[in-house]
Amino acid sequence: MSQLARMSMSERSRRRGKHSSIGSWSGGSGGWIVKGLVIVVVVCAVAYVGVQLLRPVPSATAHTVRSAFTAAGGQPSLPWPAQGEAALAVQGTGLVGSSGGTTPVPIASIAKVMTALVVLSDHPLKPGQSGPQITVTPADVAQYQADVATHQSVAPVTAGEQLTELQALEALLIPSANNVAHLLATWDRGSLGAFVAAMNAKATALGLTHSHFVGPSGLSSGSVSTAEDLVRLGEAAMANPVFASVVAMPSVTLPGSGVLYNYNYELGHDGFIGIKTGSDGPAGGCFLFDDAVKQGASTVQIIGAVLGSQTPPIIQSALNDAVNLVNALRPHLGTQQLVAAGQQVAEVTTPWGAAAPVDTATSVSAEAWPGLHVPGTVSIGRLTSTLRRGQRVGTLTVTVDGTPHQVPLVMGAAVAGPTTSWKLTRL
């Protein structure tokens, strides 16, 4: 073979070797790239799983499903008067119902209930106490004579005579003496104007938003209120044991007056233990009353008001309307369950789909009537992602006539935490 041929073969071999070396080097680089990518993917996947599994789990949340409660049974049907206004309540439980609207109307001598409350607030008495002596002035005698001349209800007084605070209150509330209303007002605050201002301030403090007073006796038709406002006034008055003891008296014997009788002829009948009658042309016959109903070992008090009776005799008509109302309500009174233990009031839910009820742990009962409706407020504390059955999580507050009753709230079922698959797939 010629030298040229051998050189050509050698050159071709060299070139083939060169190409083979280049291909081997390229194949090795591609393998490392693939391996690197796999490592990156694995590291990212491990990091993702770690982050997802270690991320804080959101807490469960709750929403209220019930916040008002009603005693079983239908609301009792009551014989509301065909004229005027009326309202009826069970003391400590709330308003049973009312009729005739809420337009302020003249209340006649029922205004004396507010007069007595202001005096007892300024000069408190305890049961058995008579209080300070009040000396009758010539101005008081002149007021008495003017009231007699206009045929008002009065209690005789003489200049220099002394009455204890309790005796003056008895004259005010039992024979409904207008002249003693003025005597007490000037003794208590120094002037009628100052006393009337105190009456209206007391009305505001008691929440009597439809009541206004222009005098201590109720003689002026400018002293107005509503049946519902007067029920609240009656509840406040009967909470004072001295006031309650006075209005429960059918008669009283006072110095200079002799025996004076109560215009509340229902005292001692049908359970009536007070409070005050009133009557005149603009007001008609009015009666603010308290009726005591025995319920086993306890006594339930029905507070009511009847205003604007126009059928003669107007006071007796008001008394009759009150008797009809309390006799109709009395059979419906008793212990009523307002909230049952184990009653669901809320629901707990989670983002991963778990749900469980929140139930009452105890019950609430009250002396009431069927159909009584009471409001409630559900308060749930801070929740975690897992909850045990029976675990306390909040409080239900049920308000009965302004008095709150608290009920513990517990989980009605357990709430499990999220699954691993949910943790890995959540965004």
List, for residues 311-325, the tens digit of each pLDDT value.
999 999 999 999 999
CATH 2.60.410 describes domain 61-71+337-425: yes
CA 9/CA 96 separation, integer angstroms: 122
At residue 17, the 3 state secondary structure works out as helix
List, for residues 38-97, the tens digit of each pLDDT value.
887 777 767 656 555 557 778 889 999 998 999 999 889 999 999 999 999 999 899 999
Is pLDDT above 50 for 131?
A: yes
In the chain, the amino acid numbered 149 is A
Catalytic residue among 98, 109, 217, 317: 109
Q: Is the peptide bond before 313 cis (omega within 30 degrees of 0)?
A: yes
Q: What's the confidence (pLDDT) of residue 53?
A: 55
136 or 46, greater pLDDT: 136
- Which residue, 184, 217, 214, 169, is CA-closest to 196? 214
Catalytic residue among 112, 153, 223, 257: 112
Q: What is the pTM of this model?
A: 0.81
- Which residue, 142, 143, 188, is CA-closest to 168? 188
Q: What's the confidence (pLDDT) of residue 128?
A: 96
CATH dotted code for 85-310: 3.40.710.10
Is pLDDT above 90 for 422?
A: no
Catalytic residue among 176, 211, 279, 317: 176
Could you say which DSSP state residue 14 is in?
A: H
Q: What is the mean pLDDT of residues 385-404?
A: 93
Is 29 an active-site residue?
no
CA 284/CA 282 separation, integer angstroms: 6
- Which residue, 245, 248, 337, 331, is CA-closest to 295? 331
Is 109 an active-site residue?
yes
pLDDT band at 1 (very low <50, low <70, confident <90, very high): very low
Per mean pLDDT, which range of 5-14, 126-135, 352-361, 403-412 is the poorest? 5-14
Is 59 an active-site residue?
no
* Strands 373-380, 392-400: pairing kind: antiparallel
